[in-house]
């Protein structure tokens, strides 16, 4: 017995796959943009901290605090 194909169902599957691929690419792009923005922020923060003549240890602590806050804000 041969199986009758449902072209409408297959088209809907193809559309879903296409949307999933587009969504995945969009998320990858947003992720990359967020990373680049964070990198810019980190460079700026380090510049500001250096300008205020803080020690390297204080800069490292400030950066860790900033990234923790960023992750907490990103999750909520």
Q: Which pLDDT tens digits describe the chain residue by residue (76 residues)?
A: 566 667 677 777 766 666 677 777 777 888 888 888 887 877 777 777 777 765 666 666 666 776 676 666 655 4
**Assessment of whether the complete model's pTM goes beyond 0.85:** no
Q: How far apart are CA 72 and CA 16, in angstroms?
A: 32
Q: How far apart are CA 8 and CA 15, in angstroms?
A: 11
């Amino acid at each position: 017995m041969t199986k009758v194909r449902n072209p409408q169902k297959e088209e809907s599957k193809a559309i879903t796959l296409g949307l999933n691929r587009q969504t995945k690419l969009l998320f990858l792009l947003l992720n990359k943009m967020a990373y680049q923005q964070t990198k810019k922020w980190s460079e700026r923060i380090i510049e500001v901290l250096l300008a205020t003549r803080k020690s390297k240890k204080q800069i490292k602590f400030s950066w860790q605090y900033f990234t923790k806050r960023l992750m907490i804000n990103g999750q909520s």
